[in-house]
């Protein structure tokens, strides 16, 4: 009976272990001069997010273009928009806003100008020697005797009119608007059973496709009206605002800074796949031209 070659198997195992120890510990492989185009898909997404965040802070479009070229995307604008949609689906609205702003800037060739932060300059003052003026002592001053005339008070029967000048009241200075009036670029009906009934969603962008916070929105109906602002729910976007509409009521919406008016907004009737009825809503999108 032939004996199993244990010595050969042991030598192979020892050689394999020594090779792995040398490759992983003693002299591991080191990559040099690699490019971001060789990254994995999820790492490329992190790289684009960092580029978009840098552009949002500096507004340097040529630098962002040079960095995006390192990824080797066939269409950088399409790649940014696709990643922005994935970010919205996962709840990353702030990141999606930065990606969409960079894609919009690349497509239109415009960049955001970042105003430099003013710094205080150190001013040096020259040393000015004070000039001392010597006044004569009281002993050197001559004394002159003068007569003080007696003051006789007289009463007049005539009344002098006192003229009073009216102080003008301050006038209210109108606040400047943020550029040109906004346009209503989107009015979509939303039927989503996961949202509250009659939810009106408003998103406001500037001309660079960046969401604007603090924009006053005016909504009116037959018996009243109300005002609400963007940016109160930053987890949904800086330019996002919402309002619960009244059932069977026509609403009109416009921006206080000046915009086109969305009219006849009555909560639509929607149905679930099982046939249950509920009230839908609207999604309005405003943007500066």
Kindly list the strands in the beta sheet with 251-255, ordered across the sheet, starting from the edge strand earlier in the chain.
224-229, 216-221, 251-255, 262-265
Comparing 130 with 78, the larger pLDDT belongs to 78
Is 157 a residue whose pLDDT tops 80? no
pLDDT at position 169: 52
Q: Going by C-beta distance under 8 Å and a sequence separation of 6 or more, which residues neighbour residue 159?
A: none
Is pLDDT of 176 > 70? no
Helices (H) and strands (E) in the chain, counts: 5, 10
Give the model's pLDDT for residue 126.
46
Comparing 3 with 64, the larger pLDDT belongs to 64
pLDDT digits (tens, 9 = 90+) for 7-27: 888 888 999 988 888 888 887
What integer best gives the mean pLDDT of the chain?
A: 78
What DSSP string describes 63-118? HHHHHHHTTT-S-HHHHHHHHHHHHHHTT-HHHHHHHHHHHHHHHHT--PPPPPPP
Length of the chain: 289
What angle is formed at CA 192 by the lines to CA 188 and CA 197, rounded to 5 degrees?
A: 90
Q: Give all domains of the chain, ordered by start, each with its CATH number.
A: 36-108 (no CATH), 183-287 (2.60.40.10)
- Whole-number Å distance between alpha carbons of 95 and 83: 9
Query: What per-residue string of b and e applies to 141-171 under the rule 16 or more CB within 10 Å gives b?
Result: eeeeeeeeeeeeeeeeeeeeeeeeeeeeeee
pLDDT at 59: 86
Average of per-residue pLDDT across 99-113: 77
The pLDDT assigned to 174 comes to: 41
% of the chain beyond a pLDDT of 90: 31
Spatial CA neighbour of 99 closest among 146, 163, 56, 42: 56
Question: Which pair of tokens denotes residue 91?
Answer: 């709840």
Helices within the chain (DSSP H only): 6-21, 41-58, 61-69, 76-89, 93-108
How is residue 158 annotated by DSSP? S
Measured CA to CA in angstroms, residue 171 lies from 164, 165, 168, 177 at distances of 21, 18, 9, 18
pLDDT in tens, 52-63: 988 888 888 899
The answer on pLDDT for 154 being more than 60 is: no
Rounded to 5°, angle at Cα 51 from 56 and 203: 45
Q: Dump pLDDT digits (tens) for 235-258.
A: 888 899 999 999 999 999 999 989
How much is the pLDDT for 31? 63
């Amino acid at each position: 009976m032939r004996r199993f070659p244990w010595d050969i198997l042991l030598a192979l195992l020892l050689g394999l272990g020594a090779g792995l120890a040398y490759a992983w510990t003693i002299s591991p492989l080191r990559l040099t001069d690699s490019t971001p185009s060789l990254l994995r898909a999820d790492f490329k997404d992190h790289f684009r997010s960092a580029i978009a965040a840098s552009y949002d802070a500096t507004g340097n479009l040529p630098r962002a273009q040079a960095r995006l070229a390192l990824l080797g995307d066939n269409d950088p604008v399409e790649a940014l928009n696709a990643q922005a949609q994935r970010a919205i689906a996962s709840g990353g609205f702030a990141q999606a806003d930065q990606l969409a702003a960079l894609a919009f800037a690349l497509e239109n060739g415009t960049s955001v100008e970042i105003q430099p932060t003013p710094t205080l300059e150190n001013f040096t003052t020259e040393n000015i020697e004070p000039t001392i003026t010597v006044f004569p002592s009281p002993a050197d001053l001559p004394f002159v005797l003068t007569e003080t005339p007696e003051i006789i008070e007289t009463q007049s029967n005539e009344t002098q009119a006192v003229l009073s000048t009216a102080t003008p009241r301050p006038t209210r200075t109108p606040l400047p608007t943020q550029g040109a009036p906004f346009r209503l670029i989107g009015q979509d009906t939303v039927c989503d059973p996961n949202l509250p009934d009659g939810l009106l969603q408003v998103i406001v962008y500037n001309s660079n496709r960046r969401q604007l916070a603090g924009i006053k929105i005016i909504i009116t109906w037959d018996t009243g009206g109300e005002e609400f602002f963007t940016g109160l729910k930053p987890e949904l976007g800086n330019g996002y605002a919402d309002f619960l509409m009244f059932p069977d009521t026509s609403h009109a919406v416009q921006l206080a800074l000046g915009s086109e008016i969305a009219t006849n907004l009555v909560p639509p009737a929607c149905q679930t796949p099982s046939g249950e009825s509920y009230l839908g809503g609207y999604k309005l999108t405003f943007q500066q031209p």
